Structure 1
Amino acid sequence: MTRILLALLLILGFAAPAAAAGDQGWWNKDWSYRKQVTIDSSPSGINATGVIGRTVVLVRLHSGNFTFTDAMPNGADIRFVDTDNKTPLPFHIEHYDSTVGIATAWVAVPNLNGGEKHSIWLYFGAKTAPVAQDEKGTYDPDYMAVYHFGEGPGTASNDSTANANIAKSAPPGVDDAGIIGRAARFPGQGEVQIAESASLAMPAAAPFSFTAWVKPAQLAGTQAIFARGGLTIGLNAGVLFVSGPGVSLQGKAPVKQGDWNAIAFTTDGKEGHLYVNGLEQATGPAALGAIAGPATLGGAAGQPFTGELDEVRLSKTARPAAMIQAMADAEGKGGKLVTVTETAEKQSSGGGVFFFVLSKLEGVDEIVVGVCLILTAISAFVMYNRFAYFAKCTKGNAAFMRQFRRMDGELVPSAEIPGLDKKEARLIKTSPLAHIYDVGIEEFNRRKARLGNRPLSSQAIESMRAAASEVVVHENHKLDQWMVILTIAISGGPFIGLLGTVMGVMNTFGGVAMAGDVNVNAIAPGIAAALLATISGLFCAIPSLFGYNYLNSQVIPLASDMGIFIDQLLARIAETQAEEAADNAMGGFGDDDMAMMEMDDSF
């Protein structure tokens, strides 16, 4: 019902036409919708330089940039397709909650370079699509292990690569609100243990990369983030460091305590680099010796870690600086690398700004907009009803006054006026003046039957005036009937709409904060949808205001006519009664009286 009523807003012309997507260039006709996802490493984005290569980027979806109701409840119909609109990209979804309206997906994007914009397509809206995630294929063969820590409490950490380097133990704790979904929590004791395997081999002078997100709860002391065979990557008084055979590097400044920090160490077998939040902190010799044995995450013997850890990746290659920068920006909150277009294209159909905004309405705003439009519909009915009623009253008064002015003789009830045709009779029945007239005539005839043709006293006239005034009050009530609905629409509509807007804005900012995606594409759709509530309130109030003022302008003459007519009616009744009393007095004289009057006249 709400959706149907929302279409009424089209009257205001808010719908702006948009070009249809059409079937041309559509990846698969079984999918109804698509959105463009832009990876921007140009100056308008993260302003990266150099080759990035095949990169796994994080795409955050939320109610501000994705319509979850158009996709399957579990997101099984989501697909990512490369720029050519032909090549499906490997991806996997770490978290998908259509009820809350939040999802995170990891997409492998090939051949990225700094200083350019690369667009891919997000397809959805195939209601019978099978799950097509490819978690193992998302990561290239140079990844040794990747840990999202998305498992529940007490569950060993899973490796997302094809190497299956599943941890031997679970993190001591889990934080459901990590930087990306769940995160591992370490209270200063207990580590995640990883067994040695062939895919984790680290020969001497081999390239190696380690990246992770860390949120230290305290900065004091030496805390190991990753440790294996004498190699330690960690924090010393909050400053990122790496030490081990063939390497000793330390950053420049401590990381932020109680906040998420992207850290990275890379070496090409000769030179190493330390990065914090995508920015290089140190560089120096890093010809690692052979590293073997089990590894630990979140602490080591004598170097416990207190805080949280997320998105740990180990690679057997030196990841380029531009990739480190891109990963830090895409995965952090408020990044500029990845943006999802606001408007979803629909296959073989057109759209518009209005319909896009309409699709972003949340439940609370839908209720508010629905209430405003229902009130608008009721107000429209009231205005139509009052217009019609006032028109009938005006025509009825005109018809009655024509007959009233013709009554030179005896005054009779309006239904007994001689010579009325059916049309005039119907009109006079709707006349407020006729109702006043009938009550006045009824009072006059009742007095006449009781007291005869005596002239009217002032008390009698006031009595008849009181009876007629009572009718005037009832007729005024009829004229004002339901007008209060218009005053409610005028004064209440904007406030109801404003309430919806405030709640919608609150929900939008809350959702963006929960999703960690602070950019205009995340905020604008929700704000626009929230403003639709205020528009619906004004749409309710403005026509009601004009209608109410016009109707008031019609009520005033009708009410004035009734006040004037009472005086006219009483004057006519008094005049008629006086004439009848005089005629009766003349008719009461005898023949002798008449003779005497004639004699008096002769003198």
Structure 2
Amino acid sequence: MRFLILVCALCLAWLPRITSAADAGWWNDDWSFRKAITLDSGPKGGNLAQAPGRVPLLIRLHSGNFQFDGVAQNGSDLRFIASDGKTPLNYQIESFDPVLGVAQIWLDVTDLPAGGQQTVWMYYGNSKAPAQSNGAATFDPDYSLVYHFDDNAGAPPRDATAYNNNAQAGMLRMVDDGVAGKAARFDGNTVVTLPASASLATTAGGTFTFSSWIKLDALPTGATLVYARRQDGKALLIGLDGGVPFVEVDGDQPQRSQPGRPLKAGQWTHIAVVAGSGQVTLYVDGKSYGQVAAALPALNSPATIGGDAPGAATGAPAIASFAGEMDEVRLSRTARAAIAIETDVLSQGAESKLIQYGEDEKKSGFGFGYFGIIVKSVTADAWVVIGILLVMALISWIVMWQRGRYVGEVTRANDRFLDRFRAQGTNLLGMAAAEAQPALQRELGKSSLFRLYEVGAKEVWRRRDNHGRLVIASESIEAIRAVMDSTLVRENQRLSRSMVLLTIAISGGPFLGLLGTVVGVMITFAAIAAAGDVNVNAIAPGIAAALLATVAGLFVAIPALFGYNYLLTRNKAVTANMQVFVDEFVTRLAELHRDVEKSEPERAVVG
């Protein structure tokens, strides 16, 4: 019994160590924690048929995949290490809010393969580490402009690349429901003007890429512009006509892409345009949507986002400005491959299978691991249930330990008593002599058989006549048995004392754990409904944490069940020995009674 309890205690003590991180391969001992992030381009992940090469991927952290414990308040101690465990990767923190439990980080993946997996490590937990977030290093030199729209309200958008192509005009209102962090709200009147820098200029027949996420307030009845650049009667226009995306190239003559299906209002959609090799291709959500067989004209005038610049459309029909939200506007000096556009959509979309988040690990000692993620996701009500179950487990272990120790002492003492009792031979009351009692009490005081014997012997000694002889009538035999049986019942009660607590733990533990699980699942789904987030990474930790209450209930019930059955078997053996002894004592007493009756017919005397 004690061995069973010791095993349970050791399992409980070593449980956190099961998920501890191996110190081998730790990048830097100054960082206390790390998190595995798997980039899966295989069939079960992003399913990329070609290798996109170097791409900036969006690492989206939230309370479902990261607990924000042990990390700096502004994320300055974050470091990303390549799969070799040695090479630091460039990154840019767009937003980091540990209070709300959300963060958006752009990670520069130098070589993303096709149809495979690689694991990068996110290290954190170093209060002395300086910030290293750097957009200029994260986005490759061919990106000439990247607007995250993470600026303060009323300020023109700032460029995240090394070219510093900050907007020259256009005060936008920022909203919090962007694809990545904040987004820009265009009211149909505001136009953002880009600088006429050399890095943004296009050459005749050159290469160019535009991409952005857009969300329409409502489908426009006419044409609206998302991006425009005009110069000397030539233009590159990207917009929507009745909600249908288009790209138009005005060279010697205007050419517009063929129409397709309109977009849906109130839904984020990725738009990209790639120009190169005498062809301009329009992509919607990473898929080819339309084409124009035309070379890109030479343009070095200021471009605009969200509409035309005032007076820019001289001699051309006026096109309305964009009304809706816009996020992640990017311009490139090169023609991005179709697989790169597809990778952007996979990485930045709400349901990204390309990026999978692993467990949090601690450098040494006890790690967080899967168990740590579950524990940190447990709600207050579940902690109450688990606390009650742990108290029940402690009580049941104490009961098992005490009852196991008690029944063991009784069994060993009974064995010693039987040896002494058998040695008395026909002297049935020899051990009841007054002079032998102190020594017998020290040796056999814990024996239930000895206590039965004492009660029986006292009942026999009570039947003395005036001359000090023991006189036992026939009816006295059954009276002595009744007294011994009542003592046997009390001895059984002593054996079964507190056993009811084990039955409560066995039957009540799983039900109480189930109650905690059901309540936890209800709260998890209620939180999901309130947040409107159906991402599995937001659901799984809450469900797993809710199931911890059931595990705790089984953790209480299973050892209690084993201990109860073990103790019950031992108690039954002791009870059987007591019943046999009562029968033996009374039977031998009856034999002596009959012998005396034969020798003295007038009365029965024992002694």
Q: TM-score, normalised by structure 2?
A: 0.73
1:242 aligns with 2:247: yes
User: Offset at 1:435?
Assistant: 3.5
How much does 1:106 deviate?
A: 0.4
SS at match of 2:339: helix
Matched residue, 1:599:
none
Partner of 1:194: 192
Report the more deviating stretch, 65-74 or 571-580.
571-580
The equivalent of 1:297 in structure 2 is 306
Shift of 1:180: 2.3
CA separation of 1:44 and 1:392: change in aligned 2, threshold 3 A = closer
What do the CA deviations read for 1:392-442 (whole angstroms, capped 9, x no partner)? 22233344455566496795996x5544674x4234322234444545566
Instruction: Say whether 1:56 aligns with 2:69.
Output: no
Shift of 1:183: 3.2
> CA, structure 1 residues 52+543, in 2 after alignment: closer, same or farther (shift >3 Å)?
closer
1:115 Cα deviation after fit: 6.6
Contact 2:19 2:371 in 1 (8 A): no
Partner in structure 1 of residue 314 of structure 2: none
Q: Find the partner of 1:309 among 307, 317, 326.
A: 326
Which residue is 1:474 aligned to?
A: 490
**Contact preservation (8 Å) 1:223, 1:299:** no
Measured after TM superposition, the shift of residue 215 of structure 1 is 3.1
Alignment CA distance shift 1:543-1:83 (3 Å): closer
1:355-389 CA-partner distances (Å, limit 9, x unpaired): 73333333355947776666545434332322221
Q: Find the counterpart in structure 1 of residue 5 from structure 2.
A: none
Asked whether the 8 Å contact 1:91–1:133 carries over to 2, the reply is: yes
State yes or no: 1:547 paired with 2:563: yes
Q: Name the SS for the 2:501 alignment partner.
A: helix
Distance 1:491-1:174 versus aligned 2 partners, 3 A rule = same
Instruction: Give the SS at the match of 1:362.
Output: helix
TM-aligned CA deviation for residue 572 of structure 1: 7.0
Whichever residue aligns with residue 575 of structure 2, its letter is A
C-alpha distance in structure 2 between counterparts of 1:371 and 1:449, whole Å? 62
Distance change (3 Å), C-alpha of 1:169 and 1:467 = farther
In structure 2, what is the Cα distance between the partners aligned to 1:193 and 1:6?
68
Q: CA deviation at 1:333?
A: 3.0
> Residues 160 and 385 (structure 1 numbering): CA distance in 2 closer, same or farther, change over 3 Å?
same
> Does 2:363 align with 1:358?
no
In structure 2, what is the Cα distance between the partners aligned to 1:133 and 1:171? 25
Q: Equivalents in 1 of 2:257, 2:592: separation in Å?
A: 119
Residue of structure 2 in register with 1:393 after alignment: 410
Measure how far apart 1:274 and its partner are.
0.6
Partner of 1:323: 340
Using the alignment, how far apart are the partners of 1:282 and 1:542 within structure 2?
Answer: 64
Letter in 2 for 1:281: Y
Residue 431 of structure 1 aligns with which residue? 447
Please tell me whether the aligned partners of residues 147 and 159 of structure 2 are also in contact (alpha carbons under 8 angstroms). Answer: yes
How big is the shift at 1:213? 1.6
Q: Which residue identity is paired with 1:273?
A: T
CA contact (8 A) 1:149 1:183 kept: yes
- In the alignment, the residues of structure 2 paired with residue 560 and residue 357 of structure 1 have an alpha-carbon distance, to the nearest angstrom, of 50
With structure 1 as the length reference, what TM-score do the two structures score? 0.74
Tell me which moved more, 46-55 or 508-517.
Answer: 508-517
Q: Which residue of 1 aligns with 2:315?
A: none
Confirm or deny: 8 A CA contact 2:80 2:88 kept in the other structure. yes
Q: Which stretch of the first structure deviates more once superposed, 318-327 or 111-120?
A: 111-120
Residue 271 of structure 1: aligned partner: 279
For the structure 1 residues 105 and 297, does the alpha-carbon distance in structure 2 shift closer, same or farther, using more than 3 Å as the test? same
TM-aligned CA distance change 1:586 to 1:531, over 3 Å: closer
Question: What is the percent sequence identity of the aligned residues?
Answer: 40
Q: 1:215 to 1:418 in 2, by over 3 A?
A: farther
Q: 1:287 aligned to 280, 293, 296, which one?
A: 296
The SS at the match of 2:126 is coil
Judged with a 3 Å threshold, the aligned counterparts in structure 2 of structure 1 residues 363 and 84 are, in CA distance, closer, same or farther, namely: closer
The amino acid of 1:174's aligned partner reads V
DSSP 3-state at the match of 2:282: strand
- Relative to 1, partners in 2 of residues 1:238 and 1:483: Cα closer, same or farther, differing over 3 Å? farther
Please say if residues 362 and 504 of structure 1, whose CA atoms lie closer than 8 Å, have aligned partners that are also in contact.
no
* 8 A contact 1:211–1:265 mirrored in 2: yes
How far apart, in 1, do the equivalents of 2:308 and 2:502 lie? 69
Give the CA deviation at 1:134.
Answer: 1.3
- Are the counterparts in 2 of residues 226 and 234 from structure 1 also a CA contact under 8 Å? yes
Aligned to 2:145: 145
Alpha-carbon distance between aligned partners in 2 of 1:6 and 1:237, rounded to the nearest angstrom: 69
For 1:277-325, what per-residue CA distance to the aligned partner results, in whole angstroms no more than 9, with x for missing partners?
A: 1111111125346474573438998746554432222334433322211
Structure 2: any 5+ residue segments left out of the alignment? Answer: 1-7, 231-235, 310-317
Indicate if the aligned counterparts of 1:278 and 1:325 stay in contact, CA closer than 8 A: yes
Asked if the contact 1:70/1:125 (under 8 Å) is kept, the reply is yes
> Cα distance 1:396–1:271, how it changes in 2: closer, same or farther (>3 A)?
same
CA contact (8 A) 1:455 1:574 kept: no
Could you report, residue by residue, the CA deviation over 1:491-529 in whole angstroms, capped at 9, with x for unpaired residues?
34445556677788889998999888658xx99888878
Alignment partner of 1:334 out of 337, 351, 355: 351
Over residues 187-225 of structure 1, what are the superposed CA-to-partner deviations in whole Å (9 max), with x where a residue is unaligned? Answer: xx3555423423385456464322112233543524636
| Counterpart position of 2:262 | 254
- Which SS does the other structure have where 1:318 is aligned? coil
Shift of 1:330: 1.0
Q: Counterparts of 1:456 and 1:99 in 2: how far apart (Å)? A: 88
Q: Distance in 2 between matches of 1:220 and 1:193?
A: 17
| Structure 1 unaligned blocks of 5 or more | 588-603
Amino acid at match of 1:283: Q
Q: Which amino acid aligns with 2:134?
A: D
Residues 518/571 of structure 1: CA separation in 2 closer, same or farther (3 Å cut): closer
In 1, Cα distance between equivalents of 2:572 and 2:51: 80
- Does residue 6 of structure 2 align to residue 8 of structure 1? no
Q: Secondary structure at the match of 1:476?
A: helix
- The letter of the residue matching 2:296 is A
Against the structure 1 CA distance between its residues 114 and 546, is the aligned structure 2 distance closer, same or farther, given a 3 Å change threshold?
A: closer
User: In 2, distance between residues paired with 1:13 and 1:138?
Assistant: 37
Report the Cα distance in structure 2 between the residues aligned to 1:507 and 1:158, rounded to whole angstroms.
41
Matched, 1:384 2:401: yes
- Distance (Å, rounded) in 1 between the aligned partners of 2:99 and 2:498: 42
User: For residues 65-104 of structure 1, what are the structure 2 equivalents within 5 Å?
Assistant: 68-69=68-69, 71-82=71-82, 87-98=87-98, 102-104=102-104
Q: Distance in 1 between matches of 2:290 and 2:196?
A: 30
> 2: CA distance between counterparts of 1:567 and 1:51?
88
Contact preservation (8 Å) 2:196, 2:301 = no
The Cα of 1:77 is off from its aligned counterpart by 1.5
Q: Supply the AA of the counterpart residue of 1:357.
A: Y
Aligned to 1:591: none
Q: CA deviation at 1:107?
A: 1.7
- The answer as to whether partners of 1:274 and 1:281 remain within 8 angstroms in 2 is yes
RMSD, aligned CA: 5.1
Matches within 5 A, 1:27-66: 28-34=28-34, 37=37, 39=39, 46=46, 48=48, 52=52, 54-62=54-62
For residues 449-464 of structure 1, the aligned pairs below 5 Å read none
